[in-house]
A and B are shown apart, each in its own frame.
Chain A
Amino acid sequence: MVELLSSITLWLGLFFLAIGSIGIIKMPDIYCKLHASGKCDTLGIFLAFAGISMQLDDWHQVLKIFLILVFIAIANPTSAHLVGRTAKHSNIKFWKKSK
């Protein structure tokens, strides 16, 4: 039962990581690319690490993985915000849909 739940969570995380990785190539603008990288990667890493930590038996390792997750939940949106703010500051234009 735990094996099945862990496998489902891991594959769901890989699915979100795939969406982030494809979206970063297909999106037209730097701000749209920030949208793909900031949201999908964070959720994908959360699900993938949760699936990995279900297969461990020592609670020290689970605690360390949880600490990595807490750090990523703070750091990943912060770095996306930093890149977006710096790009806005250096006058990179927004993408407008061509008619």
Chain B
Amino acid sequence: MLELIIIIILAILPLKLLTKGSSPYERLIGLNVFSNKVLVLILLLGLSYKEINFFIDVAIGYALLNFVGVVVLTRFLRMREESNG
């Protein structure tokens, strides 16, 4: 139970960077770190519910979606920089 509270606090900390970052890249790092914390939170929730089968599948989808999101956003930022000159 204590580790659930600690991992929720650790997931709230990067939201400061995600909302108030100085550049889009800092916000992207904040998003990445937040997703990693939520990944651990999902499995800890499944362990405390004693029903971890479904939560592992959710964690697989979340990890894939996190990586695809970072790749697409960096590609978009780079295309925007090149079109601006």
Q: Mark B44-64, 1 if CB is under 8 A from A, else 0.
A: 100100001100110110011
B interface, size bucket: 35 or more
Asked if A67 is an interface residue, CB under 8 A from chain B, the answer is: yes
Contacts of A45 in B (CB 8 A): 36, 39-40
Q: How distant is B56 from chain A, measured CB to nearest CB, in Å? A: 5
Q: How far, in whole Å, are A64 and B57 apart by their CA atoms in the complex?
A: 8
Q: How far, in whole Å, are A68 and B47 apart by their CA atoms in the complex?
A: 16
Q: Is the interface of B mostly helix, strand, loop or mixed?
A: helix
A64 touches B7 (CB 8 A): no
Q: Mark A44-85, 1 if CB is under 8 A from B, else 0.
A: 110011001001100001001101100110011011101101
A48 touches B40 (CB 8 A): yes
The residues of A with any CB-CB pair to B shorter than 8 Å are: 10-11, 13-14, 17-18, 20-22, 24-25, 30, 33-34, 37, 41, 44-45, 48-49, 52, 55-56, 61, 64-65, 67-68, 71-72, 75-76, 78-80, 82-83, 85-87, 89-90, 92
A14 touches B60 (CB 8 A): no
**Neighbour of B10 across the interface among A18, A33, A64, A68, CB < 8 A:** A18
Q: How distant is B23 from chain A, measured CB to nearest CB, in Å? A: 7
Contacts of B47 in A (CB 8 A): 52, 55
A37 touches B63 (CB 8 A): no
**Neighbour of A86 across the interface among B16, B36, B60, B74, CB < 8 A:** B74
Closest residue of chain B to A34 (Cβ to Cβ) is B29
